Structure 1
Amino acid sequence: MPLARALRATQPKLRAWTSSPKTDLMNLPLQLTVFLGLAAVQVTAWAYPGAGAQASEAAEVEVKHILWLHADASKENGVTAYISARLPKIKHERLSVNALRSWQMIERGEHVCRPNTIRTPQRERQAYFTDTMLAPPVELLVRRDKLNQLPRNAEGEVDLKRLLEQGRLRGAAAKGRSYGEYVDGLLSSASASAGSSKSFTLYATEGVGLRLLDMLARDRADYLIEHDGGLQQMRQRNLGAEEFTSLPIQGASEAPVAGIACPRTPWGLAAIRAIDQVIGTPAGAAELRRSTKEWLSPEAQQRMATQIKQFYQRRAQPSDPR
């Protein structure tokens, strides 16, 4: 195992410390700390073989331009506007692009960054992140007249796995968007299943979030997998929100972390560190909280008040992305 190899690599140093007549046993805990620290470095090098080289190269990279990828670049994004104003030596531009194409550009290592991106282990292998908000768990936005056809557990949570397998209701979600590890896994399996794929569709178009709500309102879908706030947007757009309701999804109760993602390249590391220096301050954290508040419904803000407070207390310090 990698950890075992890392520990074995540092054991000679520990033996030297403990066998030396000059070793002060009262300081052994400190020596053990150093020992474990060396092991951690060994493991990090194994997990991300290029991490050390990229960190070194990032120090030499000058970030002159960032292309910000938005679902709708015509709308002002408070977080990126705040960052742009505080990094005036960098040229900032915006581009409207869906989540699927955004990740294709990030994977190619283009000089782009995407805000409001759910952080997952798979994405961390492709991009550097700095966190900007704590998002509520995803939910099922469904027509009220279809409630009796939903498989639910004793707590009222929707069994999404069974719902997809049954294929009785028409479902939709945004292609390329992450809904958290558990739901992403179910959607991936559903896409590969001939039966489920006929009743569930992933869409990748510009402004896909609003388009999906339009589909639901026009009875072209029975339910959506959606982040918190879908009903609120339907009310704001007069889409007959009273005909719909949102339900929790079984197995998807954890609040995902969203942030800014830049490519896992020396340029991406230099860019994400510059961004993190701007938002990793008390003033930056306050702006993040103000700018992302609109992404949460009043109910979610109340329900998650303690978690949100703790998140932004941590966010008031630089996070040292790596």
Structure 2
Amino acid sequence: MAVLVTGGAGYIGSHTVAELLERGEEVVIVDSLQQGHREAVLGGKLYVGDLRDKAFLGKVFEENDIDAVIHFAASSLVGESMKDPGKYYHNNVYGTLCLLEVMNEHQVKRIVFSSTAATYGEPEQVPILETDRTLPTNAYGETKLAMENMMKWFDTAHGIQYISLRYFNAAGAHEGGRIGEDHDPETHLIPIILQVALGKRAHISVFGDDYATPDGTCIRDYIHVTDLADAHIRAVGKLREGGASRVYNLGNGKGFSVNEVIEIARRVTGHPIPAVIEPRRAGDPASLVASSERARTELGWAPQRDSLERIIASAWAWHQARPDGYND
């Protein structure tokens, strides 16, 4: 039996494929390669195509004995989602609808969904619990919540059980050095900081230093990408064991400020990494940290690479070796 990984040539998807292969799973990958990289796929069977092409997707299911899906494929830039929400509804929501319909046609009843803590919007409390209100503040988070709700109703109607994993910031790179983070455009804090250390940027912009946090800069939760991959695979195992549909937060449970991330990157890289304070960005909450107690208890998951130094060091090794990324 095979695991289908949608978006498996992307950042988190490719690391999950690598972990699945290391654990002896048969892996099938679907990716349009619009954002993913062929070179990031270390094995398995890759199909290049779009989830919204149901004939293409049906062929994937017909040619492989798939028993579970891990669903990463989605557009994921918050700013872009506010400028072009239609793209996000069409790609994320309609793409997921096509996937669920084809799964149902082929009697595949297990899906693990890579969701986001952006489904919560402005947090009611920190750390955030799975039972907290979901009120997204951007179109990206709204489409992810719509995808979760769609899965709930497909479970009710067709018995397709799902686990949705909500998290904030994936970071780091495969510690074997073979794959890493390569986005265009790059929007994540740690790779942008490392671009300064590589001489690709003159400085790192810090958006606001007057928040109600110990050093005035925003606090965020960072998880090593391989730990995220492990959580997705554990979720597949939970469904294979007959586990019920469920939502889980993933997080370190502690969070680091922007200034802390920059300072640790300076130590790891040995580069001064100049920082320039800029005005706040609209909609940036002061602190976003997720409680992962439910995942720890029910999935047996806990981050093994929770040192920010280790996370940044793995990313730095990748970016030094591949300063231009995959350069497809």
TM over 0.5: no
Which structure shows the bigger proportion of residues in helix conformation? 1
Q: Which has the higher contact order (CA 8 A, sep 6+)?
A: 1
Looking at CA atoms only, which structure, 1 or 2, has the larger radius of gyration? 1
TM-score scaled by structure 1?
0.29
